[in-house]
Amino acid sequence: MPPTPLTTDATSPGSLITQDGQIQWGDILLGPGTDYEIADSGPTGWADLPVLDSGDVLRPDQHGAWPGAMWAQARTVTAPVWLLPRRPEQAAAVAREFRAATAVHSGEQWLAVRLHGETLACRARVNQRVIPHDRMFVTRGIAKATVQWICADPRRLSVGPPHSQSTGLPVVADGGLVWPAGLNWPLDWGKSGGSTGQLTVHNAGDAPTSPVIEFQGPVDRPTLTRRSDDLRLEYGIRLTESERLTIDVNAGTVVSNGTQSRVNTATAGSAPEQLFQLEPGETQLRFSCAPGAPVDPRAAVTVTWRDAHW
């Protein structure tokens, strides 16, 4: 029988944490104030750089190599945990809860750690668990267990509600304005009217983050462009007022109204979805549609993301 996938809450990692040194794994809380104290040596692998794969290519005719891309492998986090029932008769229940929380599952859930007021979280799975049945455990129910998690995506993400920015299509098409003769300067520009199609998102971490992008119709050939390098996501589809096209950059999925895959509608000039990441700091984006298509004020794009840290 295959492992049972977990149903997880993707919106509130670390919601049970109340003080420094605590670790939340799914619905169980470890650390100060719980039956599961973290040993003095603390968790390992949480703030370390994961192992890196290098795309360097050795030079055949001279010293050194041509530098290539650096890609992080999965993050491995290990924590020594004391099982500390308040009374010996509670030992079985404490151990049973810990075993249930660290059982084998194929699905990921949130692993969150708070240190010095900062809580970060990764999606993870339990990779190993050790509970020694030594004399101390047999007589008093106390054991120094070890649990190890594998975080397939090694980036540690901010907790709480994710950030979100939205914009509509530009009300004035690109290409500038035609100036009539006889204008008297300075001009009265009046008030700004309508959307510019531009938005600026800010990733406050130190690692690239993978956003979720949602196009809302009506719009013909929705396009989102990263202005720093003109990398774009573009889909040859006409969305009606009731249609939404959702792109999960991390998963590489393109779904219409939450059900039907539309990844096949990507145009030839559209980048692979998983490359459309938000680098640390500010990223400027531009929302547009097919040239000459009508601009409907109800059309919009929403970018949702979490700050990412190594």
Name the domain count of the chain: 2
Domain-terminating residue out of 133, 158, 183: 158
Model confidence at 195, pLDDT cuts 50, 70, 90, reads confident
Q: What is the mean pLDDT of the chain?
A: 90
* Residues 248 and 264 placed together within one structural domain of the fold: yes
pLDDT of residue 176: 53
Instruction: Evaluate whether residue 177 is within a structural domain.
Output: no
Both tokens of 179, joined, read: 């100036």
Model confidence at 185, pLDDT cuts 50, 70, 90, reads low
Helix (H) or strand (E) holding 134, with range, is none
pLDDT of residue 188: 57
Instruction: Evaluate whether residue 254 is within a structural domain.
Output: yes
Instruction: Evaluate whether residue 184 is within a structural domain.
Output: no
Mean pLDDT throughout 267-278? 96
DSSP 254-273: EEETTTEE-GGGB-TTPPPG
* Residues 207 and 123 placed together within one structural domain of the fold: no
Instruction: Evaluate whether residue 213 is within a structural domain.
Output: yes
Tell me phi and psi for residue 199, to 5 degrees.
-150, 150
Model confidence at 57: pLDDT above 60: yes
Which range marks the domain in which residue 219 is found? Answer: 163-172+195-309
Question: Rounded distance, CA 167 to CA 224, Å?
Answer: 11
Q: What CATH number is attached to the domain comprising 143?
A: 2.40.30.200
pLDDT of residue 97: 95
Model confidence at 8: pLDDT above 90: no
Question: Rounded distance, CA 132 to CA 145, Å?
Answer: 7
Model confidence at 223: pLDDT above 90: yes
65-81 b/e (C-beta count within 10 Å ≥ 16 → b): eeeeeeeeebbbbbbbb
Instruction: Evaluate whether residue 14 is within a structural domain.
Output: no
* Residues 145 and 239 placed together within one structural domain of the fold: no
* Residues 144 and 111 placed together within one structural domain of the fold: yes
Taking a C-beta distance cutoff of 8 angstroms, is the pair 109, 58 a contact?
no
Q: Which residues pair with 128 in a beta bridge?
A: 148
Instruction: Evaluate whether residue 269 is within a structural domain.
Output: yes
* Residues 142 and 212 placed together within one structural domain of the fold: no
- HSE-CB at 175 with a 13 A cutoff on CA atoms is 6
* Residues 232 and 295 placed together within one structural domain of the fold: yes
Model confidence at 277: pLDDT above 70: yes
* Residues 84 and 113 placed together within one structural domain of the fold: yes
Question: Rounded distance, CA 132 to CA 39, Å?
Answer: 15
DSSP 261-307: E-GGGB-TTPPPGGG--B-SEEEEEEEE-STT----TT-EEEEEE--
Domain-terminating residue out of 110, 135, 158: 158
Domain-terminating residue out of 132, 158, 184: 158
Model confidence at 196, pLDDT cuts 50, 70, 90, reads confident
Instruction: Evaluate whether residue 62 is within a structural domain.
Output: no
Share of the chain above pLDDT 70, in %: 89
Q: What CATH number is attached to the domain comprising 272?
A: 2.60.120.860
* Residues 147 and 167 placed together within one structural domain of the fold: no
* Residues 127 and 168 placed together within one structural domain of the fold: no
At 97 the three-state DSSP class reads helix
Mode of pairing for the β-strands spanning 52-54 and 70-72: antiparallel
pLDDT of residue 88: 85
* Residues 121 and 230 placed together within one structural domain of the fold: no
Q: What is the pTM of this model?
A: 0.84
* Residues 200 and 262 placed together within one structural domain of the fold: yes
The separation between CA 157 and the C-alpha centre of its own chain, rounded to angstroms, equals 6
Instruction: Evaluate whether residue 255 is within a structural domain.
Output: yes
* Residues 123 and 229 placed together within one structural domain of the fold: no
Mean pLDDT throughout 23-43? 94
